[in-house]
């Protein structure tokens, strides 16, 4: 892997875990590159190389591209991304081709005048004033993504900056926050065809790059506090201990898998507005103690007849639908529409018991198939009282597809012998 701009062998400065990402950028396959992981994964170093390298390669093709790099707080730029770009330019062996300035903070490619500029993002609307005197901003980098206010703020920046060119490369780098419900963790789990998601950690980096002390510190933490090790060094959002559902498997569920499932369960939670109607279709593998979420339907202001049509259009009238018992008339509406609807198995204390039954099983979720159930489940946490103590009860609200899943699985969770 050798650059056409210089004689540096990129395998000497890019960690093996990022080779595929590098080639994907060169092939122009994606716009967004979301790179996340633990300490020492070299994701920021990788971006620090890719931006100046990409700009120099663009210059060879006669393209005048520029870059803008953001951190949420402006006074963190100098000691982080500015130094990271300096390291990348040095690693590429092209220090003589770039000039640096601190006020304004920027790097300039001497042969063409292309610029890498740095900005703190106090207010996203300020990005409207960012203009390229020549060419366009092809490269954006949001470092420490989770420090920003949310994906809406990021979109505002992108809408302001991504103009004037026919190809863009947007990097977002961060160490996943400990809570799975953090917006940045949720963002990278949502499928997008124009995005390349890449998770990395120190174990794929040559030891000599990190130093033995780094490895020793990581191994010590692994032995003394494995939860902290998984979060800090492996980049796993292990939760704060308040997540209701800990046993989650977030991945693609293939059509081939679904065709093999034999134990199918369906549930319906009632609502209108602002609470939605929520239908879910799931499978249970008792030998694995895994619940697979296969599909979801519903939404706000949907009449029972329209909800029934959604279900029948998917041919989901093939298995019983266990429904919330709070609206007996709605169950009758479903039956009148030809659906095999029946009351969920509900007894005193069953709400707590059905939650505990699900908590003891691994829930397999494909965010592309059940995005609303996915969001509810990863965000669902126990509440904290005024003394900072966890409240043992299960919060009520934003749990509509969770409830439909409890109803769907009630025939097995409430069956004697199937202990939570």
Q: What is the rounded CA–CA span in Å between residue 10 and residue 330?
A: 64
Check if the beta carbon of residue 270 is closer than 8 Å to that of residue 400.
no
Closest to 221 measured CA to CA, from 396, 384, 39: 39
For Cα atoms 328, 329, 335, give the angle at the middle one, nearest 5 degrees: 95
Higher pLDDT, 363 or 384: 363
| Active-site annotation, residues | 144
Mean pLDDT of the 211-231 span: 91
Q: Give the residue range(s) of CATH 3.40.50.300 domains in the chain.
A: 10-218
Check if the beta carbon of residue 244 is closer than 8 Å to that of residue 382.
yes
Mean pLDDT of the 157-167 span: 90
pLDDT of residue 406 exceeding 90, the answer is: yes
Check if the beta carbon of residue 398 is closer than 8 Å to that of residue 380.
yes
**Which residues partner with 71 through β-bridges?**
120
Q: Are strands 32-37 and 195-200 parallel, antiparallel or unpaired?
A: parallel
Residue 415, φ and ψ in degrees, nearest 5: -80, 135
Three-class DSSP labels, 202-268: HHHCCHHHHCHHHHHHHHHHHHHCHHHHHHHCCCCCCCCCCECCCCEEECCCCHHHHHHCCCEEEEE
67-106 per-position pLDDT tens digit: 999 998 888 888 899 999 999 999 999 999 999 999 899 9
Three-class DSSP labels, 373-402: HHHHHHHCECCECCCCCECCCCCCCCCHHH
Place of tokens 């992981």: 37
pLDDT of residue 396 exceeding 90, the answer is: no
Q: Are strands 195-200 and 169-174 parallel, antiparallel or unpaired?
A: unpaired
Mean pLDDT of the 160-175 span: 93
pLDDT of residue 180 exceeding 50, the answer is: yes
Q: Which fold is adopted by the domain 10-218?
A: Rossmann fold (3.40.50)
The pLDDT assigned to 114 comes to 97
Q: Are strands 341-343 and 277-285 parallel, antiparallel or unpaired?
A: unpaired
Higher pLDDT, 125 or 342: 342
pLDDT of residue 417 exceeding 70, the answer is: no
Place of tokens 């950028």: 25
Q: Give the residue range(s) of CATH 3.30.420.280 domains in the chain.
A: 248-413
Mean pLDDT of the 364-381 span: 91
Mean pLDDT of the 32-59 span: 96
Binned at pLDDT 50, 70 and 90, residue 381 comes out as confident
For Cα atoms 269, 275, 278, give the angle at the middle one, nearest 5 degrees: 30
Binned at pLDDT 50, 70 and 90, residue 383 comes out as confident
Binned at pLDDT 50, 70 and 90, residue 320 comes out as very high
Binned at pLDDT 50, 70 and 90, residue 7 comes out as low
Residue 69 buriedness (CB in 10 A; 0-12 / 13-18 / 19+): buried
Question: Minimum mean pLDDT among 73-77, 92-96, 290-294, 337-341: which range?
Answer: 73-77
**Which residues partner with 114 through β-bridges?**
109
Q: What is the rounded CA–CA span in Å between residue 198 and residue 171?
A: 11
Residue 72, Ramachandran bin (φ over 0: left; ψ between -120 and 50: alpha; else beta): alpha
The pLDDT assigned to 172 comes to 98
**If one looks up domain 248-413 in CATH, what number appears?**
3.30.420.280
The pLDDT assigned to 190 comes to 85
Check if the beta carbon of residue 194 is closer than 8 Å to that of residue 32.
yes
């Amino acid at each position: 892997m050798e650059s056409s701009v210089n004689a540096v062998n990129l395998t000497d400065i890019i960690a093996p875990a990022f080779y595929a990402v590098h080639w994907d950028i060169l092939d122009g396959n994606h716009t967004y590159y979301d790179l996340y992981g633990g300490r020492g994964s070299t994701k920021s170093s990788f971006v620090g190389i890719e931006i100046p390298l990409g700009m120099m390669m663009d210059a060879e093709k006669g393209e005048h591209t520029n870059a803008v790099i953001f951190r949420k707080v402006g006074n963190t730029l100098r000691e982080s991304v500015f130094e990271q770009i300096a390291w990348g330019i040095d690693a590429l062996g092209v220090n003589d081709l770039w000039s640096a300035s601190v006020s304004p903070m920027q790097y300039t490619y001497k042969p063409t005048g292309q610029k890498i500029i740095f900005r703190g993002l106090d207010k996203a609307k300020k990005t409207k004033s960012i203009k390229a005197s020549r060419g366009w901003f092809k490269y954006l980098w949001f470092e420490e993504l989770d420090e920003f206010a949310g994906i809406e703020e990021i979109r505002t920046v992108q809408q302001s900056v991504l103009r004037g060119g026919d190809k863009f490369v947007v990097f977002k780098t961060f160490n996943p926050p400990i809570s799975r419900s953090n917006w940045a963790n949720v963002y990278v789990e949502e499928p997008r065809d124009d995005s390349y998601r890449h998770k990395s950690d120190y174990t794929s980096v040559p030891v000599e790059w990190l130093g033995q002390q780094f490895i020793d510190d990581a191994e010590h933490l692994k032995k003394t506090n494995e939860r902290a090790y998984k979060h800090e060094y492996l980049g796993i959002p292990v939760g704060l201990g308040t997540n209701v559902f800990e046993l989650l498997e977030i991945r693609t569920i293939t059509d081939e898998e679904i065709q093999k499932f034999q134990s199918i369960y369906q549930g319906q939670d009632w609502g209108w507005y602002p609470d939605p109607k929520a239908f879910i279709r799931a499978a249970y593998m008792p030998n694995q103690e895994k619940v697979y979420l296969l599909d979801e339907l519903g939404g706000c202001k949907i009449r029972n007849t329209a909800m029934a049509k959604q279900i029948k259009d998917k041919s989901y009238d093939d298995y019983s639908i266990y429904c919330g018992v709070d609206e007996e008339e709605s169950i009758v509406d479903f039956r009148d529409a030809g659906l095999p609807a029946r009351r969920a198995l509900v007894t005193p204390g069953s709400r707590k018991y059905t939650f505990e039954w699900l908590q003891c099983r691994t829930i397999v979720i494909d965010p592309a198939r059940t995005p609303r159930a996915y969001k509810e489940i990863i965000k669902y946490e126990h509440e904290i009282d005024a003394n900072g103590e966890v409240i043992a009860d299960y919060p009520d609200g934003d749990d509509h597809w969770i409830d439909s899943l409890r109803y769907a699985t009630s025939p097995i969770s409430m069956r004697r012998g199937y202990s939570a």
